[in-house]
Structure formats: C-alpha cells, structure tokens
Amino acid sequence: MENSKDAEGRPASLKEASPTLEGSRVCPGAAGATNWMSPTYDPQTKLFYVTAREQCDIFSTAPQPYEEGHAYYGSAYFPNDDTAPFWGALRAIDPDTGKTVGIGQIGEFCTRGYHVMLGYFEMHEATAAAIDADGWLHTGDLCAMDARGYCTVEGRLKDMIIRGGENIYPKEIETVVYQLPEIAEAAVVGRAHPVYGEEPVLFVSLNSGAAASTDGILEHLSGSLSKFKLPVEITILDDLPKNPVGKIDKPTLRKSIAANL
C-alpha cells in the first residue's frame, strides 16, 4: 500500500513514513514519543525533526535498539526505495565471526544507512573491503556499546594483538600505564612470536624530571591486568616517534622491533 503524503509530498505521519519510526524516541533526556509535536521533514537529509512538548530543543528521531542484550542500535528495517526517510544502525561485531557482540564487549564498530558512502572513487577493491554485501561499513575502530546505544572507542582493529588466541587491546594496557604520574606517553604494539603469534611490547616516555623503572611499571600493570596481557618487554625512550599529524607513530615502533629480531 502506498504511503499517504501531504500537499508538499511529505509522508503524512511518522508511522506512515517508515516502519522504523513507529515506537521511536527522541534523544536521551527528551520527552517520549507520546509528547511529540508535529514533525518537520527535511527532504535533503531525509530526517524528521521533532520538538518535544516539554522542551524547546530540536531532536532528530532515534530508533530503539532491537537486538536486546547485544551491541546493536538502530533499525532492523533496510529500505530499498525512498519511502523510509530515516534509517540507520550501528553495531559492534566480533572481527573473527562477524557476529554482534554483547553489551559492554569490545568489537569492531560497523554502521549502515543513508549516511554511509557509496564507495571509494574508482577503487572497487577498497570499497569491497570496507563495505560488505549487506551494506555495513567496517570502520576499523574498536568500540564497546552500553545498553543505551552509546559507544566508547577502545582502539583500532589493526592495532589489536592476538596472543595464543587471546585478543589484547593496546588501549586497555596504555590506559593503565597512564595512571602512573611519571608517564608522558605510552604505546603498545605487537611483536611476532613463533608459538603465540604475537606478544605485547610497551614503549613509554617520561615527564620532565620524572624517574621510573621498567620493573616498577610492570608491577603497576600486574595489579590491574591479566597475566597474558602484560607486556613482555618495556622500553623507556626520551620521546616516542610521531607521525605528521602529531600522533604516536606505531608503525615506526613496529619496524624498530622487526629490525631487532
């Protein structure tokens, strides 16, 4: 059945615009769907904008999560035409299985919807590697999603270390290292291992005038991390290498490790 539209060609209601909008809510903290006033439809962004009766702010509609207990937020409805003015979803997946991980677990951040690009210009292989057959854009970022659908970035997939089948996330180790007031910079990278595949190696630099020992750093890490996550080697440098945008250059650190093997 064709959706009814007003005189300007807009869907007559949120429900008729898309199945995904029925039962939707505004951003956290705003009034519920029953308190919406008449929506305004933007044909360029294909989004409804609604004003809650109890607040004066403008919110874009956000669908409820539909995979209860899993790191998925958004709509299950995948439109194949222009009848759905709002659609979008994000989830965190296990990089090995492609399945959605649980709430609070770390996975690769993936998203699909109208906001995702069609592809890289004249780069078909790169496009196929980034966007799968179901339209999910694989960002390469690692994240953990809470029950509200909010994500925290946990690092980059390419930085993940697999040691004897166990996933190690460098940011988790680096976060604990930064608890030490002596530490100015910290970076964890993987080093090849003939049995376990990879093992974590830690590089740090110290704040001006500070003193620290590798044994002291390792002792601090041992109080917060599982044994398999502990770096097998800690190197204290005057400064960590940086890339042109000022970020710690992990590829250079990996090359320095490979050169010393």
What CATH number has the domain bearing residue 190?
3.30.300.30
Examine the fold and report which residue of 96, 127, 156 is the final residue of a domain before the chain moves on.
156
Residue 37's domain spans which residues?
14-60
In this prediction, residue 74 carries a pLDDT of 67
Q: Which residue has the tokens 């759905």?
A: 84
Same domain for 166 and 250? yes
Work out the average pLDDT over 20-27. Answer: 36
In this prediction, residue 75 carries a pLDDT of 55
Could you tell me if residue 106 is inside a domain? yes
pLDDT digits over 142-184, tens only?
999 888 888 898 889 999 999 999 999 999 999 999 999 999 9
Examine the fold and report which residue of 116, 136, 156 is the final residue of a domain before the chain moves on.
156
Q: Is residue 140 helix, strand or coil?
A: strand
Could you tell me if residue 111 is inside a domain? yes
pLDDT digits over 105-121, tens only?
999 999 988 788 889 99
Q: What is the rounded distance in angstroms from the CA atom of residue 2 to the CA atom of residue 151? A: 37
Between the alpha carbon of residue 215 and those of residues 59, 172, 175, 232, 234, the distances in Å are 52, 19, 18, 11, 9
Same domain for 151 and 109? yes
In this prediction, residue 225 carries a pLDDT of 96
Nearest to 168 by CA among 211, 231, 237: 231
Same domain for 144 and 172? no
Number of folded domains in the chain? Answer: 3
Same domain for 137 and 214? no
Could you tell me if residue 65 is inside a domain? no
Could you tell me if residue 139 is inside a domain? yes
Least confident of 22-26, 40-44, 84-88: 22-26
Could you tell me if residue 67 is inside a domain? no
Could you tell me if residue 6 is inside a domain? no
Q: Are strands 106-113 and 137-145 parallel, antiparallel or unpaired?
A: antiparallel
